[in-house]
Amino acid sequence: MSRLTPGASIQNPADAAEAVVLISPGGAPLGSPTSPLPVAAVGSPAAKTDRSGAIAAGGTAQTLMAANAGRRGFWVQNLSGDALYINGLGDAAAGQPSLRIPAGAIYEEPASGVSTTAISIFGAAAGQAFSAREW
């Protein structure tokens, strides 16, 4: 049985498979081995599809990910020395409403609002590399 104090969290979803008893600030259990509080694991394993590549033509938006109604998440890491931009509302460009990903940075779409539309990417120079996964 796991014991969690206020503010603690389960780091490994497999740990949630056992009974969990929350401890109140005063030290009293909020559940018991025979009457544990319900626990739901958030998220589930998903196969990731590699969407990595490089900018084919500098100054021109290109498709990073096609529209996907089943998309549950994605991330993009900028492996180049200059900024990249992504956009799920239309063609990416070096400005609004595109999202800027600085050199070396990673962007992960929040699980609470994953875009299922096509995602485009823009870089100023051909050859700017990026790593990306979609699930």
Task: Give the Cα-Cα-Cα angle 32, 37, 41 (nearest 5 degrees).
Answer: 130
Q: CA-CA distance, 65 to 74, in Å (whole number)? A: 9
> What does the pLDDT look like over 57-88, one tens digit per residue?
999 999 999 999 999 999 999 999 999 999 99
Token pair belonging to 109: 């779409």
- Is 0.75 topped by the overall pTM? no
Q: 3-state DSSP: the chain helix, strand, coil percent, rounded to 5?
A: 5, 30, 65
Positions in the chain short of pLDDT 50: 1
CATH topology of domain 49-134: Jelly Rolls (2.60.120)
Q: CA-CA distance, 50 to 65, in Å (whole number)? A: 10
Query: Tell me, what's the pLDDT at 124?
Result: 98
Query: Tell me, what's the pLDDT at 37?
Result: 66
Task: Give the Cα-Cα-Cα angle 115, 61, 46 (nearest 5 degrees).
Answer: 35
The full set of domain ranges for the chain reads 1-42, 49-134
Among 111, 26, 8, 107, which residue's Cα sits nearest to residue 121? Answer: 107
Q: CA-CA distance, 130 to 35, in Å (whole number)? A: 49
Query: Tell me, what's the pLDDT at 27?
Result: 73
Burial 24-44 (b: 16+ CB within 10 A, else e): eeeeeeebeeeebeebeeeee
